[in-house]
Each structure stands twice: as C-alpha cells, then as structure tokens.
Amino acid sequence: MAKIYCIANQKGGVGKTTTAVNLAAALSQLSFNVLLVDLDPQGNATTGSGLEKNNLVQSVYEVLLDRADIKKVITHSTSGYDILGSNRKLAAAEEELLSAARKELRLKTKLDEVSGQYDVIIIDCPPTLSILTINAFCAADSVLVPIQCEFYALEGVGQLINTIQLVKKSLNKSLDIEGVLMTMFDYRTNLSNEVYSEVKKYFKDKVYKNTIPRNIRLAESPSFGLPIML
Ligand code: ATP
Ligand code: MG
C-alpha cells in the first residue's frame, strides 16, 4: 500500500501546491510510483502538472461523489507521475458532501482502490479547513505543513494542529505530522531567520533543516506546466 502524505495549511499562498508538484516529480524521478491528488477547486496542481483544468472531462469531484471510477479519471502527467485532477467544480462538492453518508471518508475509500498501485500518494489541500481538507486528513498517513517565512507565519497554526488532533482522536488514529517545511526562505533577510527560530520553538524537531529558498524559477515553472527539475 502507498504511503499517503497530505500537504496542508489553511493559510493561502504558503507553497502547498509548489511543494506537492515538485515532491511528486522528484520522487517519480527517483523511480517511485507516485499519484498526485489535487484536492483544491483552484486546480493549481492540475495546471502545474501540465493539464488544462477546464478541459477535464472528469475530475476528483466526480470521484468523490461516486459519479466516476477513480481508475478511469487518473491520468499520467508529462512530469512522470499520475494525477487525479481538479477544477472549479470541486467547490460544489463541499456542499454536496455535507449531506452525504461517511462524508469525511470519501477520499479514503476511493484511494483504497488504487493505493496498491503506488509507492507514494501526495494530496494537495485547499487553503481551508473544510470537509475537503478533513477528507485528506482521514485518507493520509501524515501531514506535511509548509510554512512561509513571513511575519504572520504562525497565525492559524494552532487551529490547524487542533483540527489534525481532532481527526486523530476520532476518524484516523494513525495520522501524524510528517514535518514542517519552511518555504520562500530569503537568506538576505533577518526576517527569514527569525521566523525559522519562531517556528522551531513551536514545532521543535518536526521542522526540516533544509529550507526552500525564494526562487524565481519555482514561481515560473507552473506557467510551463512543469516541475522545477524539468
Ligand atoms: P493556495 O493556498 O492558494 O493553494 P499554496 O499554498 O498552494 O497556495 P503556492 O501556489 O505553491 O501556494 O505558492 C504561492 C505562490 O508563490 C505561487 O505563485 C508560487 O509560484 C509562488 N512560490 C511558491 N514557492 C516559491 C518559492 N520558493 N520561490 C518563489 N515563489 C514561490
Ligand atoms: Mg495551492
């Protein structure tokens, strides 16, 4: 069975999608079988993987609502990994799921069908703690939290940790925090170092020693539908 990571932080623009796409590509270059799940109605991971999100015939939306077979919706990306794409339609799923049975476990049930075909599954979450993110927490073995090196970095982190702990208590006992990744680190500023220290005080050994530098190529690569190494 695949190891399933979800990339989550309800703060917007902290580097979740950039991490998801580039991690998927890097692991697939290392010969792992990887599935990337775009669980965000913005569809950024879909676009960043070279797919035209508005032309998807079916997407993660139809899969979650039992209207399509996950095996038929997954496609192969030019970057080497498989992808379950998403687009604006997924926004409707949030409402439709609220009245559905086992609404938190929809994604888990679907991923169980394909998990045996992959080494790693990476779920890119939306910038909310909605039912979509709860579905990701229920399906995942662990959560990778990207934090942007900026002044308000830790704002909302308490709420994120509470939500993870609630899910751990009730729906997914094995859920853990995989690690905390500092993104858009700028070596020229004191701020980045100060934020790193603050985050380290809070998360201790969970913070990765390696940080992701602010890098224009990383910002440009989604417009080519490619990860940074390609
Ligand atoms: P959202 O919450 O909207 O889903 P996100 O957390 O997925 O956002 P990204 O989309 O990965 O964040 O990144 C936000 C923006 O910052 C994007 O324009 C992205 O290209 C850019 N970006 C991400 N990481 C870096 C980096 N290390 N250097 C420069 N730009 C970056
Ligand atoms: Mg994103």
User: Mind listing the pLDDT tens digit for each residue in 152-166?
Assistant: 999 999 999 999 999
Question: What is the CB neighbour count within 10 angstroms for residue 182?
Answer: 24
- The helix (run of H) or strand (run of E) holding residue 35 is strand 34-38
91 Cβ contact partners less than 8 Å away, ≥ 6 residues apart: 41
Tell me the pLDDT band of 26, cut-offs 50, 70 and 90: very high
Tens digit of each residue's pLDDT (9 = 90 or more) over 40-98: 999 999 999 999 999 999 999 999 999 999 999 999 999 999 999 999 999 999 889 98
Average pLDDT, the chain: 96
Q: How many angstroms separate the alpha carbon of residue 215 from the centre of ligand 2?
A: 17
Give yes or no for residue 108 CB within 6 A of ligand 1.
no
**Number of the ligand 1 atom closest to the C-alpha atom of 215:** 28
Give yes or no for residue 215 CB within 6 A of ligand 1.
yes
Residue from 16, 18, 21, 143 whose mutation best tests the ligand 1 pocket (most atoms within 8 A of CB): 18
Tens digit of each residue's pLDDT (9 = 90 or more) over 136-188: 999 999 999 999 999 999 999 999 999 999 999 999 999 999 999 999 999 89
pLDDT at 118: 98
Q: How many angstroms separate the alpha carbon of residue 188 from the centre of ligand 2?
A: 26
Is this structure's pTM higher than 0.85?
A: yes
Please calculate the CA angle 195-198-201 and round it to the nearest 5 degrees: 150
Is the predicted pLDDT of residue 101 greater than 90, yes or no? no
Distance separating alpha carbons of residues 134 and 164, to the nearest angstrom? 8
**Which DSSP category does 57 fall into?**
S
Q: How far is CA 148 from CA 15, 87, 151, 186, in A?
A: 7, 25, 9, 10
**Closest protein CA for atom 18 of ligand 1:** 219
pLDDT at 94: 85
Distance separating alpha carbons of residues 227 and 230, to the nearest angstrom? 6
Give yes or no for residue 127 CB within 6 A of ligand 1.
yes
Distance separating alpha carbons of residues 140 and 6, to the nearest angstrom? 6
Distance separating alpha carbons of residues 147 and 225, to the nearest angstrom? 23
Give yes or no for residue 218 CB within 6 A of ligand 1.
yes
